[in-house]
Amino acid sequence: MGKVIGIDLGTTNSCVAVMEGSTPKVIENSEGARTTPSIVAITDDGERLVGQPAKRQAVTNPERTFFAIKRLIGRSFDDPMTQKDLKLVPYKIKKASSGDAWVEADGKDYSPSQISAFTLTKMKETAEAYLGQPVTQAVITVPAYFNDAQRQATKDAGRIAGLEVLRIINEPTAAALAYGLDKKSTGTIAVYDLGGGTFDVSVLEIGDGVFEVKSTNGDTFLGGEDFDM
């Protein structure tokens, strides 16, 4: 049976890990980093760049460099968050025939799931290079506030990348599991998730190893990148 990988598909950065025994191992990418920028670019000659190479050329190719695509995944064009994003990004966001928010480069349209799939493919290839074997199954984390459409769009991205997504897991739940909080019989915990592009706070209730998200809130336009500016 092949290895199942865990992917943190982030707004700003993504990473991939695998279990080695009972310990998770975060895998370094081909650039030697444990995180990969969630950035995809299309160059003048049609080449696709993902991660650090895409980030390096973003200043000179802003209209074809897609970043923070997670803010659009599973959202309609008319969604207030999409409308806010329109004013902040240099690339073109357009309304698809379905009413969803898509992006465009050189006259070609891409769904957020397609762009996210390029990042997931990079994560898949990173894991395969480390493990020395094909990887076909993954668990992917999403924010607790993601609705069904956003979760399905994330699963679609995995499928496009050639991955069977065994489970979509809430990010605060993943954090609680990482710290072994599922071993507590009962309790209520708060998880503060300060990412590169977002800041979320979630309250979880634990009971017999089961996590229930009682409340979640945050700012999808506030993160570590804003501190760097």
> Minimal CA–CA distance to 79: which of 63, 95, 64, 92?
95
Structure tokens at 140: 């992917």
Cα 17 from chain centroid (whole Å): 14
Answer whether 49's CB lies under 8 Å from 41's CB: yes
Asked if residues 165 and 156 have their Cβ atoms less than 8 Å apart, the reply is no
- Catalytic residue status for 84: no
Alpha carbon separation from 214 to 54, 117, 172 (Å, rounded): 38, 30, 11
Active site residue 106: no
**Is residue 171 flagged as an active site residue?**
yes
Choose the catalytic residue: 85, 100, 156, 193: 193
- Out of 55, 70, 122, 124, the active site residue is 70
Angle between helices 148-160 and 112-131 (to 10 degrees): 50
User: What is the Cα–Cα distance from 166 to 140, expressed in whole angstroms?
Assistant: 8
What is the DSSP pairing of strand 13-20 with strand 4-9? antiparallel
- Active-site pick, 85, 100, 156, 171: 171
Look-up: residue for tokens 């760049």? Answer: 49
Residue among 59, 34, 39 nearest 51 (CA): 39
Tokens 């076909």 belong to residue: 136
Q: How many other β-carbons are positioned within 10 Å of the β-carbon of residue 15?
A: 20
Catalytic residue check, 226: no
Catalytic residue among 8, 85, 100, 156: 8
Active site residues: 8, 70, 171, 193
